Structure 1
Amino acid sequence: MSVVTTALAGVVFGLALAAPPGPMNAIIAEESVVSGWPAGFRAGLGAMVADVLFFVLTLAGAMAVIDRYPIVRPVLYFAGGLLMLYFAVGAIEEARAATSFTDGGRHESNGFRKTFALSLTNPYQIGFWLTVGVGLLESGTLDVLAHVPGAGAALAGELIVQTGSPALLAGFFGGIAIWIVIYPATLVAAGRRVDNFAPAVAGLSAVVLAGFGLLFLVAGTARVV
């Protein structure tokens, strides 16, 4: 496989992991429609910076320490769940306050801090870097689309690439970067055309965050019991 093809496969992988609905995209959406594209981009950047940090820790072998202490994962589930519920309350307040799309940064954005903190307590994101992330660094093969959330089983075997390549890693982070640019831009464009778009998106973000928050708390409880 050529360097260009490998890099493009990495871009597809990054986009496939970044695009599915979840707490990170909920926060990006809320920030985008309430405070404009820069705020949405910064929120996406928070999650991406966390991924870069996890990548560096994986490269150094530090992430493997988490597997040595069973108590760490339940703690992460509880911390992540509580953070999501806290952010969901904030999203509800934004939904009530936002009467239309502002595109002007009605308040100081803290989306970067939200997504970065949430990423650091997200066991699924950490689990990715403990498993698939390690695989990206080692020589071998990777079934790229098999790891797409919610659709991996149907897409398995469709795109298999060689791992351990700098081009694959560069493409992977490039795909995430593309998403955090175009996703907020798309939401902003829609918000300029539909007056009630901002409160609707903020309300939906609250529902998503609350749902995932409760899911994380239940998962943490199950691991303790």
Structure 2
Amino acid sequence: MQGLWVLLQGIVLGFAIAAPVGPIGLLCIRRTLQHGPLMGFFTGFGAAIADTIYGGIAAFGVSNALSFLRGHEIAFQLVGGVFLLVVAIRTFSQRPDAEEREAACAPDSKTWIGGFMTGLSLTLTNPATIMAFIAIFAGFGLGGTLDRVEASTLVLGVFLGASLWWFTLSMGVAAVRHRISDRGLVMLNHCTGVALAAFGLWALGMAATGIAASV
């Protein structure tokens, strides 16, 4: 029963950390509408893998990894900020057309892999993710009090919970996809691009503040 309880805790934590709408959520919604639910899900699935990695670091209390992440927080913010700006520009300028609609109906493994790598990279370069796991694990009294089996079970739960959220979001958005016109997709691309650029500028601003404080 203890193992099942830890698994359920992990599922809830993974779902809760993945659910807030951030850059990955916006990309998942846009890519589901423009390229289909698999593309949206794989974008989120990349983030779920990154959440699982950071959840494992927090659950097992790997001090060297935590120290490395904290010591290179500014570098992560710089890389993540630049990456977000690049994705924002591409998203803002993208326009749906007949070819894209046809491509959205055809399986494209390279597109899925690209979506997965985008979600993975953006989440791994966001140090706030690991800090969120550390804070939540500490608040729930998890991490340091767990043995290896329980920590592994908790991390599995995080993976299942995060994956469940991205599956739910992509399938939900796909259900209303046919009601959105090309003009609506263009508006979505513009709004998503602006929002992603705001996230990127915020990350770069945090990095600049950290650099200024260390000088």
What's the TM-score once normalised by structure 1's chain length? 0.74
**Which residue of structure 2 lines up, in the alignment, with residue 194 of structure 1?**
180
Q: Which runs of 5+ in 2 are unaligned?
A: none
Q: 2:57 & 2:11 partners in 1: Cα distance?
A: 22
Alpha carbons 2:46, 2:118 under 8 Å: kept: yes
Q: How many residues align?
A: 199
Q: 1:194 to 1:82 in 2, by over 3 A?
A: same
Alpha carbons 1:80, 1:216 under 8 Å: kept: yes
Structure 1 residue 139 displacement after superposition: 1.5
Paired AA for residue 63 in structure 1: A
Q: 1:176 & 1:55 partners in 2: Cα distance?
A: 11
**Which residue of structure 2 lines up, in the alignment, with residue 126 of structure 1?**
130
**Which residue of structure 2 lines up, in the alignment, with residue 177 of structure 1?**
163
Q: 1:126 & 1:137 partners in 2: Cα distance?
A: 13
Alpha carbons 1:98, 1:199 under 8 Å: kept: no
- How much identity, in percent, do the aligned residues show? 25
Alpha carbons 1:101, 1:198 under 8 Å: kept: no
Residue 138 of structure 1: SS of its match in structure 2?
coil
Structure 1 residue 209 displacement after superposition: 0.7
Q: 1:200 to 1:104 in 2, by over 3 A?
A: farther
Q: 1:89 & 1:106 partners in 2: Cα distance?
A: 25
Q: 1:191 & 1:67 partners in 2: Cα distance?
A: 39
Q: Tell me the alpha carbon deviations over residues 100-142 of structure 1, each in whole angstroms, 9 at most, x when there is no partner.
A: 99342597522111111112211212323455457643228xx
**Which residue of structure 1 lines up, in the alignment, with residue 68 of structure 2?**
66
Q: 1:44 & 1:86 partners in 2: Cα distance?
A: 18
Q: Tell me the alpha carbon deviations over residues 37-80 of structure 1, each in whole angstroms, 9 at most, x when there is no partner.
A: 111111111111222333445537242232673xx111111111
Bigger shift: 127-136 or 186-195? Answer: 127-136
Residues 46-195 of structure 1: pairs in structure 2 closer than 5 A: 46-58=46-58, 59=60, 61=62, 62-66=64-68, 69=71, 72-94=72-94, 96-97=95-96, 102=101, 103-104=104-105, 109=111, 110-132=114-136, 136-139=142-145, 166-195=152-181
Alpha carbons 1:89, 1:206 under 8 Å: kept: yes
Bigger shift: 45-54 or 72-81? Answer: 45-54
Does residue 203 (structure 1) correspond to residue 207 (structure 2)? The answer is: no
**Which residue of structure 2 lines up, in the alignment, with residue 220 of structure 1?**
207
Alpha carbons 2:33, 2:173 under 8 Å: kept: yes
Structure 1 residue 22 displacement after superposition: 0.5
Paired AA for residue 40 in structure 1: G
Alpha carbons 2:39, 2:115 under 8 Å: kept: yes
Q: 1:126 & 1:29 partners in 2: Cα distance?
A: 24
Q: Which runs of 5+ in 1 are unaligned?
A: 141-163
Structure (1 or 2) with the greater helix fraction: 2
